[in-house]
Every structure is written in structure tokens, then in C-alpha cells.
Chain A
Amino acid sequence: MGPFELNTTISNLRNLRESDLSAYDAVYLGNIYCRIYEDNFLERLDDLEEGIALVKGQGLRAYVTSYAAPRNDVLPKVQKALETAAAAGADAVEVHNLGVLRMVHEQFPGMPAHIGGFANVYTDAGAEVLKEYGAVRFTPNYEISLDEVGAITRGVGMPAELVVHGKMPLGVSDYCFLLEYEQKWPEKCPTLCQKNLFLKQGDWAMRSVGKGVLSGKDVCMLEHLPALIAAGHNVFRIEAAYETPAYRLNIARIYRAALERAAAGDRTEDESAWSTIREHTAVGLCNGFYFGRTGAEYVGKRPQSAVAC
């Protein structure tokens, strides 16, 4: 790995083929929320095999994610996806469920495990337990601050993967409420949740993907990248599972350039990046919980309107 890794998430082969990944170092394959998401890699194992080959063929690392909330009846499918990942040479698997981590540890002992954000890493002691189960990297729970993340990485010696841009997961469900209404709308499952759907109430807004809720605002840590690099972080994610190929590419180019500058100690900023970022956000920017505040707030030199979450 170079001085840093920039990665993203892609749910199916169509999206993978449509995406220019030149600004990325690695890609997570699969949709963690829904089994019937359009041609989800985690259900279409031939596609997963091809996807891993496509990603690796571009010189990138291919990771395979897994479901955020798998029940007993899903575990056989998870098992198959893990087998495919291992056979096709995936570089790591991402796990959000500790039962799945146990499966990886017992059945695929050579496979590096990345702990996902739904696995609820809040403490260094918790990360230590997961390390004993083969974890080599963790995404901290989204609601902890950078100070807390630092305490964990220092305490355990395991790198944290930080979402630096995109819609932060806020919750996962077993129930897709969109299905209650879809007969009235032109778009249907399994592509309905790919529409730009927002739940709004007054100045509150959340992005809905049916079985998942994401932040309405895009997390944006662009102006804080030098501080993240200085703190020793080097794995960054653009959370773009439900975004367009243009979002995936344009945002990644901005972050790759900014990370390269930050890694070289260059503190200059590219002002033109902000207009691109604003073009790609529907309701504004936030910092998530990184600064110990309300998740929808933005801290920094780029004051955000308080109009919508």
C-alpha cells in the first residue's frame, strides 16, 4: 500500500462497469442492506467472481463486503460469497456481524477481515477482541469522535478506515417500507432504492434506501484531511454505494489530489473542488460525529446552511 488507501463501495457488476475507478486504490463489492438490490454481488456469485477479476485487473485491491444484519437463513449465502471471495483472490472481506467474523476466522483463516461500521467498534478493548478473531482493520462505529478513534488505534495498533465523504449509514432494517408504496410509482424494486429518495420533515432530512437509512447530508472531511494524515490515519472511504458513477469519480479525484497534497505536507487547497462537491450534494455537508457533535453539523471554514440535515 502507498502512503494511503482511498476506497469505495459498488453494489453490482453494472455499476462497476460504469465506474471509472482510476482515483481509487481499492473497492468493496456488494450491497450490505438488501439481498434483492439489483443484481447484488453478494447474491450473484458469478458476477462477484467477475467483479473481483475486473477490479484486480485494474491494479486495485478487491474486497468483498457482507450483509449488515444477517439472520440464520442468510448465513448459507454468506458462506457461498466468502467461498467465492477466497477462490477468486479477494484481498479481504468486510464483516459487520460478529457471527460472520467467526465464520471467516474458522473457515478462511488466511483471509484478512475488515470490520465494518455496523460491527459497533467503540472501544480499544472491543477492537482487541476482534483482532484476536483475525481483524486487520476496522471502521469505527460512525457515532464516535476522532479522539475516540485515535484512542482505539493507539491502543490496539490496528488501522481505522474512515469515511471521509459520502452518505454515512444511520441505520439498517429488515423491512423495506418502499415496497408498501411502489405500486403507485413508475420505478419498481429492485431499482427503486437507487432513486434519490429523501425522508424530510422540516429541516431534517435522511436518505432512504429502503432497508437502510443514510445521512441526508454528505459527510465531507476535505478540509480536515491534513489533520487526519497528521494523526496517522491512512485508509479512507468514499461512501458511494448509492451514488452515480459521476459522483464516484469526481469526488474521488478531489480527495485523491487533496490526500496526495496532505501526505506531501502541502497545505494548499483547491478552491475549485468546492463547486464540484456542492454539485454532488442534495442537502448539504456535515462531518458526521468526528468532532463529537450532532452528526448533521459541519465544523470548519466552510460554514453550512442550517436549513436541512
Chain B
Amino acid sequence: MVELLAPAGNLEMVKAAVENGANAIYVGARGWSRRRDAYELSDEKLHEATRIAHSGGAKIRVAINTNMQSCEIPSLLKKMEKFVGWGIDGAIMTDVGAIGQVHRRFPDLVLHASIGANILNNEDVKFYRSIGVSQVVADTKLTLRELASREADIDVGIEVLIHANHCYTYLGKCWMSPYMRLERTADDFGKDVFRGSPNRGGLDYRVCLEQWELLDDKALLEPVITLKNDAFFFLDDIPALIDLGVHCLKIQGREYPVPLVAGIVRFYRELIDTYVAKPAEQPFDLAPWRMRLEAIQAERDSKRSNMTLVLLNEARQPVPHRT
């Protein structure tokens, strides 16, 4: 049975995701995941999230998927010691060195290669398998044909994002945002924060979403260029993904309001259950699902546009330099 994995940017969202049918949730450890700290959980809250998820019959995965600094790996291992003791079900990671060390220290912990690892081909999957990863998040640009072509002998689960963004660039291979603004600070616990770098755990200013002029030297070629960046919901491909045997359908969106995330989780729970329950020979009519999704999508688009404006404005603010 395919697993539905939901985001949880706070404890209320943990509860809502579990109650609305998520098989598993993921949370970000404060300072260690690819979202700003407002959508991550302190250790204490992460402990509580573990209890809530497990008591609702769901698994919990912890995102520690920043591209960290060499000097931070020992403190990461200490943190993991605590999380594993609390019974988390898996960790979502990016840095190959940190993955290797966590795997050696906690060989029974399920490790997921994050979207930031930008896994694009079968050889990539084999590489990550060799260092201890047992599930990988497929890049959002991969097609169904590419997912279907995964070699059967690679013993690795595939996670597919069913609500996320198609960025212009590959995720994990873009540093446009910190090129425009990078503010390096420290959080309350002394951990470095790279505000402006999504790969390093700070927020992404979404500078790609500016309306750009295109110039050839000094001559204006196009007054407005919009780099492709679409937030998407999968619908038509869900039956095919289930039939392909993907292990996990993952929803992104820790930064969205709780009722919106709850609605998205409920929608996909019902869609998956209805599809799986129908007799194999019976056609599946997506039309009513499409109508429901349109309403969810309109709400998501409105929230996303507002967030983008706030981020682009913040990106223009001067950086107070540390001495």
C-alpha cells in the first residue's frame, strides 16, 4: 500500500495531518531543515510530535536535510541520538557525509535522501543506496517514464512529490537566492543560520520569481521574462504512480496554514483509498476529484503569491554585517 506522507510545520499541523489520514508525517528539526525556523520544531516539540504521530498510528520522519558545515556534524550526531531514542521512524538527509555517519551510528534507522540531493538517474540511486539510504525522493522534473524505468534490482523505495514546486532550476543545485542576499546569523542555541540559502537551511527569497528584463549586453531584448516556476498538485498521474508501485506520495507545504494542509491531506487520502478500493477492471473517473482540487489550488495559490511578495521584499533589505 502506498504511503501518504504529509508535512508538519507545527504541532497543530502534526495533529491535523494524522487525523486527516496521513500514514506518515515529516517535521524539520529547528535549524537543520530546508525551511525557515518558523516552520521547524524545537527538540521538545519534536518529541511531542513523535508522541502525537505514533498515538495516531502514523510514522514520523525528521528532516535534517541542510547542507551543513563540517564542524556541525558532531552536534548533529548528538541530536540524532536523542531523536532515535524518542523513536523517530526515519531521517530525511542530503549531505552524503552526514548520511554515511548517521548510517554507521544508527544502522537500523531508515534514511531518506532528500529532494535536495537531486537524485536524477539510476546510478544516483545506486550511489545513495551504497551509503545507507533506503528511500529516495525523486526530483520533481522526472517524468513517469523515467520513474518507471528504474531498474528493478535497485532495492530502494521511491518517494514522489505530489504537491510541490517545479522550480526553473534543479532543487539543490541553485544558489541564486544567497547570491542576492545572504544574512549569516546564529539562532538562540548558537547554531549558524544562513538566511537566504535554502540549501543551508535558511529561507529561499524566491528571486527567480522576479519579473526579469532580458538584455543582450546593454540592449533590451525582452521587457519581461518569467522563469518557469509552477507549484503543482498531481491528480491525473496518481493512479499510474500507485500502479507503478511507488512507495510514498509526499505532500510539501510546512509553511502553509493548518486548515489548508489538512484539506490537502484529506483530499489525497480519499483519492488514494477510492482508487485502491475499486475493482481493477473498473475505470476511474477523475472529474469530481478535479473539481475538488481546483478549490484547494486556488487557496494555495493565493497564500503562495502573498508569501513570494514578502520574501522578495525581504531580499531587497540590506544585510547587517557581523563584525
A residues sitting closer than 8 Å to B (CB atoms) are: 68-75, 97-103, 118, 120, 122-130, 133, 141-144, 148, 151-152, 155, 168, 170-175, 177, 181, 185, 195-202, 204, 206, 208, 213, 215, 282, 289, 292-296, 309
Evaluate contact between A70 and B100: CB separation under 8 angstroms: no
> Which of B2-10, B25-33, B219-227, B249-257 lies at the interface?
B219-227
Chain A residues within 8 Å of B215, by CB: 197-198, 200
Smallest CB gap from B228: residue in A? A175
Q: What per-residue 1/0 map shows which CB atoms of B89-110 lie under 8 Å from chain A?
A: 0000011111011000000000
In the bound complex, what is the Cα–Cα distance between A206 and B176 (angstroms)? 9
Residue B172 at the chain A interface, CB threshold 8 Å = yes
A97-B120 in contact given A125-B70, A125-B97, A130-B96 (Cβ < 8 Å): yes
Q: Are A294 and B168 in contact, with the CB atoms below 8 A? A: no
B67 touches A141 (CB 8 A): yes
Which one of B42-50, B121-129, B272-280, B291-299 contacts A? Answer: B121-129
Q: Across the interface, which residues of A come within 8 angstroms of B55, CB to CB?
A: none
Q: List 20 A-B contacts (CB under 8 A).
A: A69-B170, A71-B146, A97-B123, A99-B127, A120-B172, A120-B199, A125-B70, A143-B182, A151-B69, A171-B169, A177-B227, A198-B214, A199-B213, A199-B214, A199-B225, A199-B227, A201-B211, A201-B212, A294-B179, A294-B319
Q: Which residue of A lies closest to B100 (CB)?
A: A129
Indicate if the CB atoms of B70 and A155 lie closer than 8 Å.
yes
Determine the residue in chain B with the shortest Cβ distance to A185. B221
Q: Does B156 contact A (CB under 8 A)?
A: no
B191 to chain A, nearest CB (A): 15
Closest residue to A154 on the B side, CB-wise?
A: B70
Contacts of B225 in A (CB 8 A): 177, 181, 199
- What residues of chain B have their CB less than 8 Å away from a CB belonging to chain A? 67-71, 73, 94-98, 100-101, 118, 120-128, 130-131, 141-142, 146, 149, 168-170, 172-176, 178-184, 196-197, 199-200, 207, 210-217, 221-222, 225, 227-228, 316, 319, 321
Assembled-state Cα–Cα distance A129/B103 (Å): 13
Partner of B95, one of A73, A122, A196, A213: A122
Q: Which residue of B lies closest to A148 (CB)?
A: B69
Contact check: which of A99, A124, A198 meets B126 at CB < 8 Å? A99
Q: Which of B146, B200, B227 contacts A143 (CB 8 A)?
A: B200
Chain B residue with the shortest CB-CB distance to A288 = B179
Q: Do residues B175 and A98 form an inter-chain contact, with CB atoms below 8 A? A: no
Excluding A126-B97, A151-B70, 11 further A-B contacts by CB distance (< 8 Å) are A71-B142, A74-B121, A99-B122, A123-B73, A125-B96, A125-B97, A170-B174, A197-B216, A198-B217, A200-B215, A204-B180
Q: Within 8 Å CB of B180, what residues of A?
A: 204, 294-296, 309
Contact B169 A70 (CB under 8 A): no
Given contacts A75-B121, A177-B227, A199-B225, A122 and B182 within 8 Å (CB-CB)? no
CB atoms of A295 and B98 under 8 A apart:
no
Q: Is the CB of B120 within 8 A of A175?
A: no
CA distance A148 to B194 in the complex (A): 14
Partner of B214, one of A102, A123, A170, A208: A208
